Amino acid sequence: MKKAIKISLLLLLAAFVLTGCVSKYKKIKVSSFEVESVVPSSLRSANVVVAVGINNPAPAFQLRDIEATVKQNGNVMGLVTGEPVSVDGKCERVYRIPLQAQLAEGVGIMQLLATYKSFNPEEFTIDLHARANVAGKIGKDIDYKDVPLSKFIKE
């Protein structure tokens, strides 16, 4: 009987601790975003480095399975994938994240150049998926749909 009470108390304590951590994870904010470099690696792909400022009041975690789809007026223009990133706990800092960008099927280099010439960020949206992992396997999928590109561009 005493063992059951101890286990119940430990489970209750663990639930309280996890609840406190969850509320801190909800307070994570992206404080800045900037494209640092774009280096073409072929006619259909490029290596991109972005600098993302993250204010993290929660414990450390790792972002993995980073994938984004870039759309122009609802049409898929390209796909972006990223390397895993370890985010430090209880601090604010800027992380340099290497990404690989690839033009979508049916999108040619000439179409991309025409888009570049008359670039309007209001025409573009991003679908983003990533997985935030804490302590290895515990994690949560993060999904954003149709986020305007203008949110990521400094004025």
Per-residue model confidence as pLDDT tens digits over 31-60: 888 888 989 999 899 999 989 899 999 888
Mean pLDDT of the chain: 81
Is residue 3's pLDDT more than 70? Answer: no
Task: Decide if 97 is inside a domain.
Answer: yes
Cα–Cα dist 41/24, whole Å:
39
Q: What angle do CA 45, 46, 50 make, to 5 degrees?
A: 140
Residue 57, classed as helix, strand or coil, is coil
Closest-CA residue to 52 (of 28, 23, 76):
28
CATH number, domain at 37? 2.60.40.10
**Burial (CB count within 10 angstroms: exposed 0-12, middle 13-18, buried 19+), residue 130:** buried
pLDDT bucket at 24, cuts 50 / 70 / 90: low
Q: Is residue 3 part of a domain?
A: no
Contacts of residue 149, Cβ cutoff 8 Å, sequence gap at least 6: 70, 121, 124, 125, 126
Lowest mean pLDDT among 4-13, 64-73, 82-91, 129-138: 4-13
Task: Say if CB 93 and CB 53 are below 8 A apart.
Answer: yes
Domain presence at residue 13? no
- Which positions ≥6 away from 140 have C-beta within 8 Å? 131, 132
The count of domains in the chain is 1
Sheet strands (E) in the chain: 29-40, 45-56, 61-72, 75-82, 85-87, 91-103, 124-134, 138-148
Label residues 20-30 b or e (16+ Cβ within 10 Å = b): eeeeeeeeeee
- The pLDDT confidence band at residue 30, using thresholds 50, 70 and 90, is confident
Two structure tokens written together for 127? 């679908």
The answer to the question of residue 35 being in a domain is: yes
Say if residue 17's pLDDT is above 60. Answer: no
Kindly state whether residue 2 falls inside one of the protein's structural domains.
no
Q: Per the domain annotation, does 102 fall within a domain?
A: yes
Q: What pLDDT, in 10s, does the model give residues 109-143?
A: 788 777 777 888 888 999 999 988 887 677 888 89
Looking at the domain assignment, is residue 105 inside a domain? yes
- Full domain range(s) for residue 126: 29-152
- Quote the pLDDT of residue 7: 54
| Confidence bin at 22 (pLDDT 50/70/90) | low
- Say whether pLDDT at 155 is over 70: no
pTM given for the model: 0.75
Residue 16 included in any domain:
no
